[in-house]
Amino acid sequence: MAELDIGALLQAMGLAAEGVLQNKWPQVKSFATTEFQKIAQTVVSIGEGLASGEITQEQAPLLLDMQKNASRAVIAAVEGMTLIAAEQALNAALSAGKAIINNFVGLALIA
């Protein structure tokens, strides 16, 4: 299994979300960073589960979606941000980390 560079992943996700949220970023940065760390831990768990055979390739995206939904709710709740803005920030963050994540888990977890 590949090594997950969590620092690079979190940096890419943070920069992408900041680009989308712009003036809201200072208010949501600490919450978003915490949520991105949770996503990274979920990715690690998915990678380990795939490698050990505990989870299937069909289950992997569902597990990531559960964490994305939780993160979306937290980010949207901060500073009264709309769900659309939270979704855009989360999608940008995941897109920025796509190559790192997909390489780590060994499949196209993020399309």
What's the mean pLDDT in 105-111?
A: 93
> pLDDT at position 79, please?
67
Phi, psi of 93 (to 5 degrees): -65, -45
- CA 34 to each of CA 1, 31, 58, 76: distance values in angstroms, whole numbers, following the listed order: 25, 5, 27, 14
25-71 tens-digit pLDDT:
998 999 999 999 999 999 999 999 999 999 999 999 999 999 999 99
For the whole model, what pTM was predicted? 0.90
Residue 36 lies in a domain: yes
In a domain, 1, yes or no: no
Domain that residue 41 falls in:
6-105
How many domains is the chain partitioned into structurally?
1
Does residue 25 fall inside a structural domain?
Answer: yes
What does the pLDDT read at residue 48? 95
Whether residue 91 is contained in a domain is answered as yes
Residue 98 lies in a domain: yes
Indicate the average pLDDT of the chain: 93
